Structure 1
Amino acid sequence: MRPPPRHRRAQTRPARPAGPAVELTIDTLGGEGDGMAPGPAFVPFTLPGERVLAMGAGERRELIEVLQASAERVVPPCPHFGTCGGCALQHWDRAPYLAWKVERLAGTLARQQIDTEILPPFAAQPGTRRRVALHARRGSRDAAKLGYKARKSWDLVDITACPISDPAIVAAIPALKRLAAPLFEHPKSAPTLHVTLTASGLEIDISGVERKSGGLSADARVLLAERAAEADFARVTIDGEVAYQARQPQVHLGPATVALPPGAFLQATPQAEAAMAEFVAVEAAGAARIADLYCGVGTFTFRLAGIAPVYACDFAPEAIRALGSAMASAPGLHGVTAEARDLVRRPVLAEELKKTDLAVFDPPRAGAAEQTAELARSKVARVIAVSCNPATFARDARTLIDAGFALDRVLPVDQFLWSPHIELVGVFSR
C-alpha cells in the first residue's frame, strides 16, 4: 500500500536535530538501512529514489517529510515503528528489501575477492521470533514499563505490540510487565528479560538486577514467583539461577528433545533453524565422520548424527551437558562425543581432525579465526560454515580459500526481519 505523496513522519519520533531543513534525493541505502543522499547524508526511514525533506547537519539527518515516495514504500505494520530502535526497514516492500540484503552479502564477499553462487534467500515471516530481549524500567507497583530502546536513545519504548515476535510472546506482554515490577528494589537495577518460547512454554532469564546489595529480597522473590505462576510461565531465572520453575523448558532439535539450560542460545526463529539444519544435512550427506564445532545445545548435531558419528564441542559446559542428556531421547543415531572446549584458546587441531572428512562450525559474531586456521591446515575435505556476521565469515572464508578450498555456494538467511542483518550458510570443498 502506497502512502500519499506527502507522507508525514509520526509525531512520536525523536526530536528534530539542529540545522536547516534541506531537500535531498535518496540514491541508495547505507549499511544500517538508512537512505543515503550525496554528501553523504544519511536519512532514516527513506528509500532509493525518494525526494525528502530532512533536518540536521553533517552526515546524520532526521526525516521531516517524504515529498515524493518510492513505489516500493509500504505502510509499516507496527505502531511503534520509527520510535522503537528494533526495526529499521518496515517501510520497504519485501522483494526489494530482500534483494538489498543479498546484494550487501555479495558486496561483503567481494571485498575479500570471493565470488560464489548465492542461492535464493530463506526469509522469516512476521510473527515467528521465539527469542526476544525486552528491557524493563520502573513503572507502577503492578506493572513495569517493558519494551525496546528508542532510536538513538537510552529511553524505553513501552510496547503493546511487536509484529516480529511469536503471538504467544506478544500475548504475554502484560504478564511480563507484571513479572518485572518487583525487580526495582535497588535504584541501579536496569533489568532485561530474555524471553524464549519453548515447547513447554515461556522461559524468562532476567539480567541487570543489581546484585551488590544482595539481589532481590525474599519478599520480591515470592512476588516474582507468584506472578510467574499466574502467567503459567515454564521457568524464570535471574542470571541463570532458578527463581521459579513449573516445567523444564524443552525444544525439539531434529529427532532429539533437549532440556534447555537457563538462557541457552537458540536460533531466533524455529523456521530459520529448520531451513538451515535441512540445508546443512543435505550438504553433509555421505560424510563418514563429522566435527560439529560451536555446537551449542545441538542445533545441527542430532541431524548430523543421523548421517555419521559426530564429535561436538562448545565453550558452554551447560550446553554440552544438555546435548549429552538429550542423546537418550533420540535412539538410532550414529553416536555423539561431546566436549566443553574454548575454541578460541584451544581450537581443535588439524592433527585431531585426521579421521574427520566434514567440519561444521557456527561461531559467535566474532567468527572463528583460530579454528578456521586449523581447518585450513587439516585434511578435512568439506566445511560448512554457519554465520551471523558476513564480515567475519568472509574473513574466515578467505583463510580456507587460500588453503585450497572453494566456496561452492551460500544460502542467505533473513531471520532478523526488518533489520539490516543477514545470516548465511556457506559450503566449502577442496
Structure 2
Amino acid sequence: MTEATIMRLGHLGDGIAEGPIFAARTLPGEVIEGTLDGDRIASPRILTPSPNRVRPPCRHVRACGGCAMQHAADDFVAGWKSDVVRAALTAHGISADLAGIETSLPHERRRATMSMRRTKKGALVGFHAPRSDVLTAVPDCLLLHPDLTASFPALEALAVLGGSRKGEMSATITQSIAGVDVAVNGGKPLDRHLEVGLAQLAGEHGLARLAWDGELVVERHAPVQLFGKAQVVPPPGAFLQATKSGEQALLTVVRDAVQGARRVVDLFAGCGTFTLPVAQDSEVHAVEGLESMMSALDAGWRKAQGLKHVSTETRDLFRRPLLPDELNRFDAAIIDPPRAGAEAQIAEIAASKLTRLAMVSCNPVSFARDVAVLRDAGFKLGPVQVVDQFRWSTHVEVAAALTR
C-alpha cells in the first residue's frame, strides 16, 4: 500500500503526487493511499480530504467516465480552469487579463455522442467508464438536456434493430427546435429492409431526423438551429457549440471584437455560429473545409431577413490558408479552429495588414501558441473570456480580441 500527498492537478484532472504518481478524482493537498500500478493509484482512498472536496451530485459518477471533476467544488473548478488558461499563456511569456469564466448549467448540454451496444436482453446506451471499454448506462445524467435523455429509448431501439452483438455503435444526438437529431455510426449496412425499419422507429419515437453512417434515412422535420436571425439545418452530426449559454458567451466576445467593421472574414466558420449573427451588422465571407456546412450556412442566410451579404468558400485552411492579399480585403477576421489550432493560417494573418481579430479556441495550449505568433507580429491580446461549456470535465474554451 502506497501513501502519497497530491501536489497539483494535471491538465486531464488527475491528481499528481511526487514521483510522479497519478490518481484520478483527487485534489491538491489530499493525502491518499492505494495500490500503485506503474505510476498510477487506480482506486485511491482519501485519508485527508481537501476542503474543496464535495459529494458528487450524480449517481453515475463512479461508473461513468463522462465527468472527471464532480468531486470538486464549483469555485475550485472555475479557478483551476482559469489557471490552466493563465499557465498556457504564461508559458509563452504572455500576460493577459482574464475576463472571468462562464460556466454552463446542469442539464444544458444540447449535443453529445453516446455509445451503444446491442445485448442479449436488448441494448445499452451510455458512456464508457474511465480508461475502460465498459459501457455504463446514464439515464439520470446531469449534463444532458432532458430532450436528449428522453431520446435514450429511441437509441436503444435503433441499436437492437441495426446493431451487431460483436461491435459498438455511436450516435451523435443534437437538440433542435424540431426535436432530437440523431446521426448513427457503426451500424449494420443500410439496405431497404433496415431503412424501412429505421424510418418507422424514428416516427414512433418522434425524432426530427435520422442518419445512418452518413446516409439520410428520414427527415420528418427539419432539425433547425437558430444562429442570430437565421434558421440553419446543419448536416447530420455537424459540430455545434455544446450549450446555448456557452455559445452566447463566445459570440459576445466575437461581436464586440468586430463591431463597426464593414467586411469580416470568418475562418473555420462551420454552419454559421458566428457568421450569421455578425451579418446583422457587417458583410461576412465565411470559409470552411466542408461543403455541406457551407451549403447549410448559405441556405440559412438566404431565407433570413435583415442580414447583410454573406458569401461562402469551401477551402481547407490547414493546407490552403487565406494569404495576406486575400485577408487584406477585410476590416476584421474571426477564427475558431479545431483543437490543433491554425498555425498556417495564423502565420498568414500575422503577415497581413489585418488589425482586428476575434479568436476562439477549445484548447488553451494551441491558443497560447497562436497568440504568441500574433504578438510577435504586433498584435495585443485583450481580456480573455474563459468558457466552461463542458461542466465537470477538464475541457475549457477561450475567446479574446486581438488588435494592432
TM-score (norm. length: structure 1): 0.91
1:199 corresponds to 2:177 = yes
Counterparts of 1:25-424 in structure 2, within 5 Å, are 25-140=5-120, 143-185=122-164, 189-209=167-187, 215-424=189-398
Q: How far apart are 1:196 and its partner, in Å?
A: 0.6
- CA distance in 2 between partners of 1:254 and 1:239 (Å): 30
Task: Name the stretch that deviates more: 225-234 or 194-203.
Answer: 225-234
Verify the 8 A CA contact 1:52 1:63 in the aligned structure 2.
no
| In 2, Cα distance between equivalents of 1:345 and 1:97 | 37
Unaligned 5+ runs, structure 1: 1-20
Whole-angstrom distance in 1 between the partners of 2:313 and 2:150:
39
Residue 129 of structure 1 deviates from its aligned partner by: 0.6
Residue deviations 1:175-204 (CA, integer Å, cap 9, x gap): 22122211224x654210110111111001
Alpha-carbon offset, residue 217 of structure 1? 4.1
- The offset of 1:82, in angstroms, is 2.3
Q: How many residues align?
A: 404
Question: Is the CA contact (8 Å cut-off) linking 2:208 and 2:219 kept in structure 1?
Answer: yes
Q: Distance in 2 between matches of 1:117 and 1:301?
A: 26
* Alpha-carbon offset, residue 240 of structure 1: 2.3
Q: State which of 381, 399, 403 in structure 2 corresponds to 1:425.
A: 399
- 26-35 or 49-58, larger mean C-alpha shift: 49-58
CA distance in 2, matches of 1:354, 1:226: 52
**What displacement does 1:68 show?**
2.1
Partners of 1:140 and 1:181 within 8 A in 2: no
Task: Check conservation: 1:56, 1:62, Cα contact below 8 A.
Answer: yes
Tell me, which stretches of 5 or more residues in structure 2 are unaligned?
Answer: none
Alpha-carbon separation, structure 1, partners of 2:37 and 2:181: 45
| 8 A contact 1:43–1:54 mirrored in 2 | no
Q: In 1, are the aligned partners of 2:384 and 2:400 still within 8 Å (CA)?
A: yes
- Cα distance per residue 1:283-339 (max 9 Å; x no partner): 221212111111111000012112211111100101111111111332222211111
Give yes or no for contact 1:205–1:238 (8 Å, CA) kept in 2: yes
- The answer as to whether partners of 2:385 and 2:398 remain within 8 angstroms in 1 is yes
Q: How far off is 1:248 after superposition?
A: 1.0
SS in 2 for 1:27: strand
User: Deviations 1:256-298 (Å, cap 9, x if unpaired)?
Assistant: 1112211111101111111211221122212121111111110
TM-score, structure 2 length as denominator?
0.96
User: 2:324 & 2:44 partners in 1: Cα distance?
Assistant: 57
* Displacement of 1:341: 1.0
Secondary structure in 1 matching 2:37: coil
Name which of structure 1's ranges 307-316 and 154-163 shifts more when overlaid on structure 2. 154-163
| C-alpha contact (below 8 Å) 1:388/1:423 kept by paired residues | yes
CA distance in 1, matches of 2:225, 2:6: 45
Aligned to 1:392, what secondary structure does the other structure show? helix
Asked if the contact 2:23–2:44 (Cα under 8 Å) also holds between the matched residues in 1, the reply is no
Which position in structure 2 is the counterpart of 1:6?
A: none
Deviations 1:151-181 (A, max 9, x none): 1112211222211110111122222212221
